[in-house]
Chains A and B, each alone.
Chain A
Amino acid sequence: AQSVAQPEDQVNVAEGNPLTVKCTYSVSGNPYLFWYVQYPNRGLQFLLKYITGDNLVKGSYGFEAEFNKSQTSFHLKKPSALVSDSALYFCAVRPLVYNFNKFYFGSGTKLNVKP
């Protein structure tokens, strides 16, 4: 069965410190990988994606993510957190072969950045 795990319900970090939001997946083949952000009372916004190539991908608002094939992980990172980064973050995968028409989402991680 396809699944995406975000092991932390909440991540707390001080402004200016680096942040990491974790994501691991169990999907057949090599999937496409995504991070989305959701601000209160808003829809999900696309942040970044890994399709192929360099394992470190850069996205919007200074975020980046590292793909690790052997660990089937796609952790979201930012070198210096801002209070405005506080939001709900979702990891998602899209299978490359079977079920290409579906996206599988993690349960979300709430990021709290304190001044």
Chain B
Amino acid sequence: NAGVTQTPKFRVLKTGQSMTLLCAQDMNHEYMYWYRQDPGMGLRLIHYSVGEGTTAKGEVPDGYNVSRLKKQNFLLGLESAAPSQTSVYFCASSYPRRLAGKGYEQYFGPGTRLTVT
């Protein structure tokens, strides 16, 4: 049981380049989330998904797109990277309300450290 995994672990991009971050979970969670972590700002929600084929905007969605084609995967895309997107990105997953008795908390991946120059 690998839990939540993220690839890649590190990446350096030039301004204007694009990339996709992959998150995978093997816990059969319906909810998945993408956060960014910046010093002194805690975790900020970028996008989230409450099920396969559905996505929604979080607190800081601009400059990012997401897709949830399979229940176990949640992709975060940067179409044209900017230095302001330098951050550590975390994926997380959780059970929905109707299955909350199995666990109410989120489970996090190890993170992707992205630098945009």
What residues make up the interface of A, taking CB atoms closer than 8 Å to B?
Answer: 9, 32, 34, 36, 41-46, 49, 51, 90, 92, 94, 100-103, 105-108
Contacts and interface: CB of A to CB of B under 8 A. Distances in A.
Contacts, number: 52
A101 B54 CA distance: 13
A23 to B, nearest CB: 12
Indicate the member of B105, B106, B107, B111 with the most A CB atoms within 10 Å.
B105
Nearest to A50: B104
A49 B105 contact: yes
Given A42-B110, A43-B108, A43-B109, 6 more contacts: A9-B40, A44-B106, A92-B106, A101-B96, A101-B97, A108-B42
A94 B104 contact: yes
A102 B42 contact: no
Contacts of A92: 106
Interface residues of B, number: 24
Nearest to B107: A46
Of A41, A42, A45, A103, the most chain B CB neighbours within 10 A belong to: A103
B97 A100 contact: yes
A107 B42 contact: yes
Contacts of B116: none
Contacts of A44: 43, 90, 92, 106, 108
A101 B109 contact: no
Given A42-B111, A101-B31, A101-B50, A107 B90 contact: no
A90 B107 contact: no
Nearest to A33: B104
Given A32-B104, A101-B48, A101-B96, A107 B41 contact: yes
A9 B110 CA distance: 23
Contacts of A41: 111
Nearest to A43: B108
A44 B6 CA distance: 13
